[in-house]
Amino acid sequence: MNRRDFLKTASTAAVVAGTGVAAPSIISPARADARQESLLIVSENGPNNLDIHGVGTNVPGYEVSWNCYDRLISHEMKSGPNGVPYYDRDKFKPELAEDMNVGDMSATFKLRKDAVFQDGTPVTAADVKWSLDRAVSVGGFPTFQMKAGSLEQTDQFVVVDDHTVRVDFLRKDRLTIPDLAVIVPCIVNSQLVKKHATADDPWGLEYTKQNTAGSGAYKVVRWRSGTEVVLERHEDWKGGPKPALKRIIWRIVPSAGNRRALLERGDADLSFDLPSKDFAEMKQDGKLSLVSTPYSNGIQYIGMNVTQPPFDNVKVRQAVAYALPYQKIIDAVMFGLAKPMFGAAADTPTEVAWPQPHKYFTDLDKARALLAEAGYPNGFETTLSFNLGFAGVNEPLCILVQESLAQIGIKTTINKIPGANWRTELIKKEMPLITNVFSGWLDYPEYFFFWCYHGQNAVFNTMSYQSPEMDAMIDGARAAAANGDTMAYEKDVKDFVDLAFEEVPRIPLYQPYVNVAMQPNVSGYQYWFHRRLDYRSLAKA
C-alpha cells in the first residue's frame, strides 16, 4: 500500500468519524500492515513552522524539530511519578555524539562517523559548529534559550577535526550541559540550508520553515498548515535504536468532540490534548490507555503587564490574585486533573522548589479593599487574552475569570488570538492581561525564574517585570549552584519565590497535567521536558 492510498484511507476515516457515520473496516492484510507501522495522531492545533530556530515557532513546532533533528546529547530515562518513563534531568547519553568528555571549562564531543543527514550527506563537525552558531545568532527565543546555559558566542564552538567539536564555557554554569540536550541546539544540514540562504536570510530560515534538514529519526514529507503533517522514518538514522513506526500522520482536528470520537471508534491512535472533562470520562470507560503526568517546572497562570496601568500598581495585581476563582477553575475546567498552586496556609514555609503554591485564595472583599487602596474603587476595564490553539482549556478558564473579576468591578473583554499568532503577540508584550502556560525545559527553579522574571530576558518575561533585586537573586542562585554553595543557593531561591508572590506579575493557578489518550495497542510513550511526543519510542502491537 503506497503512502497516498494510506493517507486517503486515514482521511476518509477522519471525515466519517466526524460526521457520525460508521467507518468501514480495514480488512486488507496490506492495509493492516501499513496501519501497524503507522501512527495517526489527532490534536487541536499543529505547527506554524518546522524549524525551532524560526521566528515565532509555536509549541507544536517543537515536536517536529525534536523528532526530525538530532542534538549532540540527550537524556537517559527513569520511572516517573506515575510509573511512565520520564526523562532523567541529571543523566545524559550520546545522540549525535558517540562520546562526551566534560572538563573544567570545556566539553569535547566525538561525533558518530556513520551519521548522515536525511539526504544522505555525512554529518561533520562543521555542520555542528554552523548549527550552534546559528542558534546563538538568530535572536529571539532560540538565542535566549542558549544564553540560559551560558552559550552566547560563536567562538565558544570550536571544530577540532572533522568529527570532533569542543564547546568552551564562558563561566561555570550547571545549566550549560543540560542546555545542550534541549530542542534548540539541533544539528542542521548546513550545506543544504546554505544553498537556500540569502543576504537578507543568512541562516536560511525561510527554507527550514517549510522543510526539515536534519539527521533525526524522522523527516517531514508533507505539511499542510492547519490540516496535517506527515513524517516518514529516516532509515539511516544512527542516533538510537531504529524506531518501530515507519510513518507518522498528524491530523489537526480542532473539535474536541471529533478527536474523542476518532479515538473511541479506533480511527485515531493517539491524542494528547483532549479537554479534562473528556479525559475524566474516558478514564471511567476504561476502553483506552490513558496517562496523566504533571508538567515538570510548569504552571498555568494569569499574567498582568506591569508597564500598563493599572497593572503597574502592585495592589491592583494583588487584588486580582484575591479575585480569581481558583477552585472553580480546578473543578469546572480541569475536572480535578491539575495540581492546585494556590491557597497555601499562612504559616507554610517557602520551599527550595518550583512550582509551589502561593498564599492567595478567593476573597472578593479583600480584593475590593485592595482595589480601593490602589485608587480604583469602581474598578476598570481591560482585555483578557488567550491562545485559541488551546481553547479547550483557555476559553472556559477565561470565562470564569471574567465573571469573577466583574464582581469586584473589573470589566474584561475576552480576546481570542489564533494559535499560529500567539507567540508573536506574546513577545510584543502589549497585552495587558493574559492566561498562558509556561514550563521550563531545565527543571530548576532558577531556570524558570531566569525566563519569566529576569529583567534582561526579552522573550518570556512577558509581563515586562523589572526588579534589580529579583535579578540579583536569580543570578546569585545560578552562581551558587555552579559553585556548590548550597546555603546561598537555598536562600536565593526562597527569596526570589517570596518576592514573586508578593509582587505577583503572574499569578500561578495550577500545575497542569499532560493527558495522553492512546489505543491499547500503542506502547512506548515517554514524558519529556518539552511535553511533546517522541515518536522514536512509540510502537503498535
Res 458: pLDDT? 67
Res 32: pLDDT? 57
Class of residue 347 by CB neighbours under 10 A (exposed 0-12, middle 13-18, buried 19+):
exposed
Dihedrals φ, ψ of 470, to 5°? -65, -45
Can you list the residues of the chain whose pLDDT is less than 50? 1-28
Tell me the C-alpha distance between 403 and 397, whole Å.
10
Domains, the chain, with CATH or none: 3-269+519-540 (3.40.190.10), 298-514 (3.10.105.10)
Residue with cell 480535578: 336
CA 352 to chain centroid, in Å, comes to 23
Residue with cell 489537526: 252
Res 7: pLDDT? 38
516, HSE (Cβ side, Cα atoms, 13 Å): 26
Q: Is 111 helix (H, G, I), strand (E, B) or coil?
A: strand
Q: Supply the pTM of this predicted model.
A: 0.86
Cβ(510)–Cβ(339) under 8 Å?
yes
Determine the Cα angle at 353 with ends 361 and 440, to 5°: 95
Give 275-290 pLDDT, tens digit per residue: 888 998 998 999 999 9
Tell me the C-alpha distance between 323 and 310, whole Å.
16
Alpha carbon of 236 to those of 95, 216, 240: distances in Å?
Answer: 14, 9, 11
Q: Is 527 helix (H, G, I), strand (E, B) or coil?
A: strand
Res 3: pLDDT? 36
Q: Where do the DSSP E strands lie in 322-367? A: 338-340
Cell triple for residue 1? Answer: 500500500
Tell me the C-alpha distance between 248 and 72, whole Å.
24
* Sign for the pseudo-dihedral over CA of 228, 232, 237, 242: positive
Res 389: pLDDT? 87
Res 81: pLDDT? 84
Cβ(52)–Cβ(183) under 8 Å?
yes
Residues 6+ apart with CB under 8 A from 66: 183, 216, 528, 530, 532, 534
